[in-house]
Structure 1
Amino acid sequence: MVVAYDDAELVEIACVTTALDGANRLGAGPPYETCLVTPQGRPVRCASGLVVAAQAPLERTRGPVDTLLVVGGPGHTAAALNGSLVGHVRRLAGVSRRVASVCTGAGVLARAGLLDGRRATTHWAFAEEMARNYPAVDVDATPLYLRDGHVCTSAGVTGALDLTLAFVEEDHGPALARSLARQMVTYLQRSGNQAQISTFVNAPAPDHRTVRRTVEHITEHLDGDLGTTALAELAGVSARHLARLFLGHVGRTPAQFVRLARAEAAAHLLVSTTLPLASVARRCGFSSAETMRQVFLDHYGTTPSQHRTVHGPV
């Protein structure tokens, strides 16, 4: 069951419903029965301007429900402030085997209290706002999707497809999920803990001059000595003070930022060159290819070799 509202994101509705229909065509058994529900059963005008007809009114929908999924979109704020909509989502969640959201749809689940005490993700651009508005939610903007108990949240837009493929694998096994991914000409499945977006573009440049200079030095000298002590000496501050500055302005310690910056640079070299793994590791400042492999597993949920196979040059 997909819950939509005015100014929802059309592609999120389509990713979920098209993938489930594709699973049915490939022999999913029992087959999925999808239903788009909206407030009062009215058609919804999506953010793109296209109008989508509902199949049932949210208010009259009864359980049991297998999967209840709320999509996101520019209308998510108004949806979260709609007491009737939120109340019916909360009611249906109580009779659902699995509850999920895509992108900013997480705000509706949070407003309903369904994410309290849980880890949840959303589109990286809205994560700070969500954490501020719902302090009882442990917001993590890094993964493509997260599962905490029977509640799942996913990142923006096409993260809906990653989440739905994960559901298909859970329900019908990896073989059908792989066949579905091939049919839809998408990744054989991106791991849920793969990062949403590059370290270098996921936030504006730090507004603190010392932090900005240090970040620029890191990104320009990845194969150099980037230990916290060395960076602190370069910045002219103590290592402890530099760590406080980074946490305050970047959200990570210097060591964490260096680790992710090197991983991002390695990911770029892996897909844009045919350099051996050892050469990529050396250029990006890793002590060995094995160290790079461990960082990749932590950050992307995959190995450098697998990353190159999926994204690299043909």
Structure 2
Amino acid sequence: MSKQLKIRHVVLLVPPNSTLLTTAGPLDVFSKAIEQFDLVRNKVDFIYKTHVVSMETEKLITTSSGLSILTEGCYTEIDYPIDTLIITGLARHLDPNLKNKMVEWLKEQEKVIRRICSVCSGAFILAEAGFLDGKKATAHWSKNEEFAQMYPSVDVQIARIFIKDGNIYTAAGITSGMDLALALIEEDFGQSFALNVARWMVFYLSRPGNQSQFSTYLDCKSIGNPTIRKVCEWILGHLKEDLTVEKLAEHVAMSPRNFARVFVRELRVTPAKYINKLRLDNACQHLIETEFSLDEIAFYCGLKTAENLRRQFISLLEVSPAQYRKSFQSSFMSAS
């Protein structure tokens, strides 16, 4: 006789005008996990059931792309215990009355929901409910500055893909909601099962939350000030060198003091921190695309030694270079 399985209800709460993929992505990941459940049936006593609900009384929600989602109904009609709640999308644009009702409901549910999550700007409503006070959190990179200004008690992590702090999870948005869903599945069923789901979803790699949302190389191209853009592009080809403020200022014929001031104004980060981020990005690329030793990578990237490289990875990415390489290196490179 097969054992009776408990139901863990996974609820995706969809605000009006959300990006379609912030809902459809995580939903498909959990749905695939349900399809593959036979792989772990003998190891667990529960199974998922997914629900898509709206924030309004209307069941039909129009997404930002114009494609509509037919939900089960409003969140106020939920009559089952929620295991995992995921707020998807642009909750910060809600009508004030709707938002206030949502916040009060969340506060009532907080003690009985095992995991509370957001994707993209859904983090704004978690912050409004006070769930993120004193916690690390993230949203889409384009919203994080506003997020930090609106909620100064939140430790906003500007570029993280997703973050877990206690039982609260926040994801950057769009495809990162799928990364978060995979991480939640891994928590429940283990890495092997999560990787199997990723394969079926044709996820070539599952990204840990500490990976950056965007590359500093791309950030360099968007700098408005032509002088600062010029020096940043020059830095890319000279990472091995000792890049002091004095040397950078000399390259663009500015005084060190004025250069540092303009640099911070344009990029909102000091030259030293920016260069360190470039070096880390470059090291990540070498780890993925080459078989160089850690000492060689540290030399080419200007981080000097393998030990310094390791310290930088642990400090900023919360993972060792070896673990990063194992997680991201191409299967073609690994097999060569």
Distance 2:153 2:332 in 1: 40
AA in 1 matched with 2:92: T
Give the % identical residues: 31
- The 3-state SS of whatever aligns with 1:31 is strand
Counterpart in the other structure of 1:158: 175
Unaligned runs of 5+ in 2: 1-10
Counterpart in the other structure of 1:56: 73
* Contact 1:118/1:138 (8 A) holds in 2: yes
1:45 aligns with 2:59: no
AA in 2 matched with 1:236: S
- The aligned runs of 1:1-314 (5 Å cut-off) are 1-27=11-37, 29=44, 30-38=46-54, 39-62=56-79, 64-73=81-90, 76-79=91-94, 81=96, 82=98, 83-202=100-219, 204-205=222-223, 207=225, 209=227, 211-212=228-229, 214-228=231-245, 230-231=247-248, 235-238=254-257, 246-269=263-286, 274=290, 276-277=292-293, 279-300=296-317, 301=319, 303=321, 305-306=325-326, 309-310=329-330
Distance 1:282 1:186 in 2: 32
* Bigger mean CA deviation after superposition, 156-165 or 243-252: 243-252
Distance 1:103 1:112 in 2: 16
Deviation of residue 219 (structure 1)?
A: 2.2
* Contact 2:245/2:271 (8 A) holds in 1: yes
Deviation of residue 41 (structure 1)?
A: 4.5
Deviation of residue 128 (structure 1)?
A: 0.7
- The 3-state SS of whatever aligns with 1:124 is coil
Deviation of residue 99 (structure 1)?
A: 0.5
AA in 2 matched with 1:5: P
Query: In 2 relative to 1, CA 88–207 (structure 1 residues): closer, same or farther, beyond 3 Å?
Result: farther
Q: Deviations over 1:179-215 (max 9, x none)?
A: 1112212144211111110012247416495x55543
- The 3-state SS of whatever aligns with 1:56 is coil
Distance 1:159 1:102 in 2: 8
Deviation of residue 54 (structure 1)?
A: 0.8
Distance 1:163 1:302 in 2: 21
Deviation of residue 104 (structure 1)?
A: 1.4
* Bigger mean CA deviation after superposition, 89-98 or 297-306: 297-306
- The 3-state SS of whatever aligns with 2:278 is helix
Deviation of residue 88 (structure 1)?
A: 3.0
AA in 2 matched with 1:23: A
Deviation of residue 91 (structure 1)?
A: 3.4
AA in 2 matched with 1:87: E
Distance 2:129 2:325 in 1: 42
Deviation of residue 97 (structure 1)?
A: 1.1
* Contact 1:199/1:261 (8 A) holds in 2: yes
Q: Deviations over 1:245-288 (max 9, x none)?
A: 554442333222111112223444555x6463455543332324
Q: Deviations over 1:98-124 (max 9, x none)?
A: 100011111222223322222110111
AA in 2 matched with 1:37: V
* Contact 1:101/1:154 (8 A) holds in 2: yes
* Bigger mean CA deviation after superposition, 91-100 or 300-309: 300-309
- What is the TM-score of this pair, normalised by structure 1? 0.85
Unaligned runs of 5+ in 1: none
Q: Give the number of equivalent residue pairs.
A: 308
Q: Deviations over 1:71-101 (max 9, x none)?
A: 014xx43227433334334433343111000
Query: In 2 relative to 1, CA 154–60 (structure 1 residues): closer, same or farther, beyond 3 Å?
Result: same
Q: Deviations over 1:201-248 (max 9, x none)?
A: 247416495x5554343223212211445446655225xx76665544
AA in 2 matched with 1:17: L
* Contact 2:137/2:163 (8 A) holds in 1: yes
- The 3-state SS of whatever aligns with 1:305 is helix
Query: In 2 relative to 1, CA 78–249 (structure 1 residues): closer, same or farther, beyond 3 Å?
Result: same
* Bigger mean CA deviation after superposition, 101-110 or 288-297: 288-297
